Amino acid sequence: MKHLHMTLAAISIILFTYRFALTLMNSAQLDKKWLKISPHILDTFLLLLGVGLAVKLAINPIEYLWLGEKILAIIFYIFTGYYTLKLARNRMMQVIGYLVVMGWIMLVVRIATTKQTIFL
């Protein structure tokens, strides 16, 4: 379960980077149905696996602050990613948004591997 979760997370990051590159190029490929649907399916499975792992390990985000911080970082990642791909008005803002997204991803990975909070 853990390895599947990590694999899906890696695929999600690669797919986001691919969509970001297509956004920078104003590619018509962004209109392809699989590129519109697959991130939602992938992220749904990621969420379900994450909840499944938390239940299996009997941990909750209130008792284990690292998990709460990881969830908050994922929420910020989602909003920043949406801004980067859909709302950013120019390339500079798209690139800044992408870098911020990568920062959130690095934070999530650090928290997941060390089980240590940074902000909470």
Is the residue at 95 inside a domain? yes
Is the residue at 50 inside a domain? yes
pLDDT value of residue 77: 96
Counting the structural domains of the chain, the total is 1
Is the residue at 120 inside a domain? no
pLDDT value of residue 87: 97
Residue ranges for the chain with pLDDT beneath 50: none
Please, which residues have CB within 8 angstroms of residue 38's CB and are 6 or more apart in sequence?
A: 15
CB 66 within 8 A of CB 115: yes
pLDDT value of residue 120: 78
pLDDT value of residue 119: 87
Burial of residue 60, with CB atoms counted within 10 A of its CB: 0-12 exposed, 13-18 middle, 19 or more buried:
exposed
Is the residue at 36 inside a domain? yes
Please, which residues have CB within 8 angstroms of residue 117's CB and are 6 or more apart in sequence?
A: 65, 66, 69, 111
Is the residue at 11 inside a domain? yes
Range of the domain at 15: 2-114
Is the residue at 63 inside a domain? yes
State the helix-helix crossing angle for 65-82 and 91-114, rounded to 10 degrees: 160
Is the residue at 119 inside a domain? no
pLDDT value of residue 35: 95
CB 51 within 8 A of CB 67: no
- The Cβ-side half-sphere exposure at 111, using a 13 Å CA radius, reads 22
pLDDT tens for residues 33-59? 999 999 999 999 999 999 999 999 999
pLDDT value of residue 64: 95
Is the residue at 80 inside a domain? yes
Question: What is the overall mean pLDDT for the chain?
Answer: 95
A 10 A CB-CB count for 24 gives 12
CA pair distance 28, 113, nearest whole angstrom:
38
